[in-house]
Amino acid sequence: MRRRLPDYLEPDELDALLDVAPPRHRLYFLLCARAGLRASEAAKLRHEDVIWRDGEPVVLHLIGKGDKEALLPLALSLRRYLPAFTQPTRRGWLFVGYKGGHMTRGAASVWLMADAAKAGIPRRKAHIHSLRHSFATHLLRAGVDLVTIRELMRHASLANTQIYLHVDPERLLGAIESIDIAIAGDPSHRNGNGRHPGGDANSGELRFLDGLAAVIESRRLELLQGEHALT
């Protein structure tokens, strides 16, 4: 079965969403987009899940998918925003829903669809999981390695994290351009008049494929080393 690339919000789209969202909606969206929480995880957060240090919220204690326990560091945006909604002594649901229970994923989806429409965000991106996808995509673009992103996303396998490589084609452009730079700068590939020897299309294509194979093999070894480090 063909796997579809994840939807995500560009940084300016996320900013636009947060600008129009009411305060409590904004907190929920930040938890998904800046801490990587799943929709149900954010909905079921409790005040006592927030770990404080020196009067500041710094870590979330989470029981996530498959009852796996995790300690998630909080981004600066959340450390600054959370104190308006919780304090170290408070207990109970952070997002209170119907009859005193926790809010539902459906309610959060209604929030997002309404606020995304006001922000001019395409409807296909107006689903809660796109916020979590945004978290991983923005980390990758910031240069964070896949193994660390896997830990923050709490994926069971690195293969689940690798899907985010495909939503950032700019990352691949540098690798492709490095092949041309390497070939152009290698004197062994040039003759006396500055042209590549045997400068027919086939030899150029072979050099390109050789360089591409080297880049791919280097990336494969890097990922393997990351997986071994986790075992």
The whole-angstrom separation of Cα 104 and Cα 152 is 23
Q: Which is the catalytic residue, given 129, 171, 190, 196?
A: 129
Q: Which is the catalytic residue, given 65, 68, 166, 195?
A: 65
Q: Is 2 part of the annotated catalytic residue set?
A: no
Asked whether the CA dihedral 119, 29, 38, 228 is positive or negative, the reply is positive
**DSSP tag of 4:** P
Q: Is 38 part of the annotated catalytic residue set?
A: yes
Q: Is 132 part of the annotated catalytic residue set?
A: yes
Q: Which is the catalytic residue, given 26, 38, 44, 102?
A: 38
Q: Is 127 part of the annotated catalytic residue set?
A: no
Q: Which is the catalytic residue, given 25, 34, 102, 132?
A: 132
Asked whether the CA dihedral 33, 35, 39, 43 is positive or negative, the reply is negative
Q: Which is the catalytic residue, given 47, 105, 141, 155?
A: 155
Q: Which is the catalytic residue, given 8, 28, 81, 164?
A: 164
CB 153 within 8 A of CB 163: no
Q: Is 129 part of the annotated catalytic residue set?
A: yes
Q: Is 155 part of the annotated catalytic residue set?
A: yes
Which residues are registered as beta bridge partners of 51? 59
Tell me the CB-side half-sphere exposure of residue 53, using CA atoms within 13 A. Answer: 6
Q: Name the residues annotated as catalytic.
A: 38, 65, 129, 132, 155, 164
